[in-house]
Structure 1
Amino acid sequence: MIILSESSPQLPDSASLRDLIRSTEAARLAGWLVYHIPGDLPPGVSADDALWHVPVQPEIVVGLWTGYIPLPEHYEEIYQAAYARNIRLVNAPDQFRRAEEFDQFYPFIEDLTARSECVADVSHCEAAAQRIGYPVFLKGTVQSLKSDGIGSCVAHAPEELKVIAGKIMSGHRRSLGKVIVRELLDLRCSRVGPGEFPLGREYRVFVYDREIVGLGYYWEGEDDLAELQPDERKLVEHLALEAASRLGVPYIAVDIGQKQNGDWIVIEVGDAQFSGFSQIPIQELWARLTARIEGKSLP
């Protein structure tokens, strides 16, 4: 089993990088062979160049890429370069896109998540917002601007919507040319983060081959709502497994939130290779993932 890791001491320090470094080390301790690769490829450098130091394996082995969410064409290039070395990444390129791109995964889980519309032109966002009903939550195909605060995600009127949608569309990696207009969920919440963004009661679940290998509270820090009761955990696990089963992506992360009325709902999904670990114990996740791949059972 081989890890292609983007962790590097040359990158600027950040919470994401620290998470990546810890994950790479946990994979190494779980028995994975680690090869470091760059993130985006500089001009003139091919994916094959980036993997020059990775030897051809004598037979097909499982591979996993851990790093920052790549553009679809970049994932395809690395996938093919790895496969030429007999390394098969856990998610094929079409599966990566189905997990990461909202407009691709939404049709599979439409009844499990907030009502949403995918819009390819900012001028059409208003019509979508009117159909869904203000206030609305806005994000790109891949990511939102929630790190900038609630004012960069939630629109209460057309003028706000136009400004936020324009900012989202200006970042191609975030939007891939689309804005997602979503029903604003009223999640249970006990605290707010930077920019007054409400830290709703939300959990991230890692699923590999129809089995949960990791589950933890989404937000960092202590939270009165973080602990799950046994019956709640069963509901979260069931919903995550249902979403994963519908999408058919081998290694996927599913975010589950609880509304004020007590109902549980899928927030969104993502390719688990590029998902943050939240409060999930990283070493335990890698142990369970490794055991699942090797066909072993853990308690």
Structure 2
Amino acid sequence: MIVLSESTEQIESSASASENKLMTETARILGCKVYYIPRDFQRCGTAENALWHIPKSAVETAGIWVGYIPKLERYETIYQAALAKGIRLLNTPLEHQKALEFNLFYPHLKGLTPDSVVINSTDECIEAGELLGFPVFVKGTVQSIKMQGWKFCIANNQKELIKITELLLKFKEHSRGRVIVRKLVKLRHQRLAPNGFPMGREFRCFIYKQQVLKYGYYWDGQNDLSKLSQQEEKQVLNLAILASERLDVPYVAIDIGQLESGDWIVIETADAQFAGLCQIPALELWNKLKDIY
């Protein structure tokens, strides 16, 4: 297994930077070959230049990209440049996009996840609100802005929906020009995050070719909701596997949450190369990953 890592020696305070460093060092300890690549093309100019130092392999080898969610164009060019070196990333550009962008994975997961509407402008807010009813959860096709707090994700009326939609459309990295309006559901929770966001009973599953590698509680800290009974674990993993079968993306992260009613739903999916570990030990995940090929 070859790792393309965006981790740097520079001191960075973000959680993502710390996790990238942890993932990179864990892969190295377990014997994976690690090559560092820049986070953008500002200095090197092209993907080919970014990978110039990587020797071409005579035998095609599986590769994983450890880094920050890239723009689609960047993923496409790095994927092709790596392939020219004999490194095949676990997900093709189309698979990467399908796992990451809500508007692409939602059609595959209808019935497993709350009803949602994809909009491209504030002009479509009225229809979306009327169709789903208020309140609604609002996010970009790639990410929400929940780090800013509950009020940046929940619209109780048309005015609030338009306001959040305008904000998300400005955040291109979150929305890529599309906003997702979702029927608001109530997840089981015992705690609120410092920003007021309910810390629901959610679990992240890392799956490769419909096999669960590892799963873990989504939120930091411990509480009674972070523990699953054998029956609950079976329900969570079966739903995650069903979602992965429908999605048909090789390496995917799938978030599963429990409603107050006790039922389980799919929250969202992601390209697992760029998904946070949550409470999954890096060593345990990489022990599974290094044996894929």
**Same topology, TM > 0.5:** yes
Structure 1: runs of 5+ lacking an equivalent: 295-299
Secondary structure of the equivalent of 1:195?
Answer: coil
* Aligned-pair identity (%): 47
1-structure distance, mates of 2:85, 2:11: 27
Cα deviations across residues 203-243 of structure 1 (Å, max 9, x unaligned)?
00000122111100000112221001111000000000011
The more displaced of 29-38 and 89-98 is: 29-38
The more displaced of 117-126 and 211-220 is: 117-126
**What is the aligned partner in structure 1 of residue 66 from structure 2?**
66
**What is the aligned partner in structure 1 of residue 10 from structure 2?**
10
Amino acid across the alignment from 1:207: I
Cα deviations across residues 50-102 of structure 1 (Å, max 9, x unaligned)?
11111111210001101111111110000000000010000000000000011
1:23 matched to 2:23? The reply is yes
2-structure distance, mates of 1:12, 1:282: 19
**What is the aligned partner in structure 1 of residue 128 from structure 2?**
128
1-structure distance, mates of 2:68, 2:274: 6
1-structure distance, mates of 2:181, 2:44: 37
TM-superposed deviation, 1:12: 2.5
**What is the aligned partner in structure 1 of residue 176 from structure 2?**
176
**What is the aligned partner in structure 2 of residue 191 from structure 1?**
191
**What is the aligned partner in structure 2 of residue 237 from structure 1?**
237
**Does the CA-based 8 Å contact 1:5-1:24 persist in structure 2?**
yes
Moved over 4 A (4+): none
**What is the aligned partner in structure 1 of residue 223 from structure 2?**
223
Cα deviations across residues 7-41 of structure 1 (Å, max 9, x unaligned)?
11326321111111111111112221001111122
2-structure distance, mates of 1:80, 1:11: 30
2-structure distance, mates of 1:30, 1:236: 29
2-structure distance, mates of 1:125, 1:256: 27
Secondary structure of the equivalent of 1:9?
Answer: coil
TM-superposed deviation, 1:194: 2.5
- With structure 1 as the length reference, what TM-score do the two structures score? 0.96
**What is the aligned partner in structure 2 of residue 105 from structure 1?**
105
**Does the CA-based 8 Å contact 2:91-2:249 persist in structure 1?**
yes
2-structure distance, mates of 1:62, 1:112: 31
2-structure distance, mates of 1:125, 1:43: 41
- Relative to 1, partners in 2 of residues 1:43 and 1:158: Cα closer, same or farther, differing over 3 Å? farther
2-structure distance, mates of 1:205, 1:66: 17
RMSD (Å), alpha carbons: 1.1
2-structure distance, mates of 1:66, 1:122: 35
- With structure 2 as the length reference, what TM-score do the two structures score? 0.98
**Does the CA-based 8 Å contact 1:255-1:268 persist in structure 2?**
yes
Aligned residue-pair number: 293
2-structure distance, mates of 1:201, 1:60: 41
2-structure distance, mates of 1:183, 1:11: 40
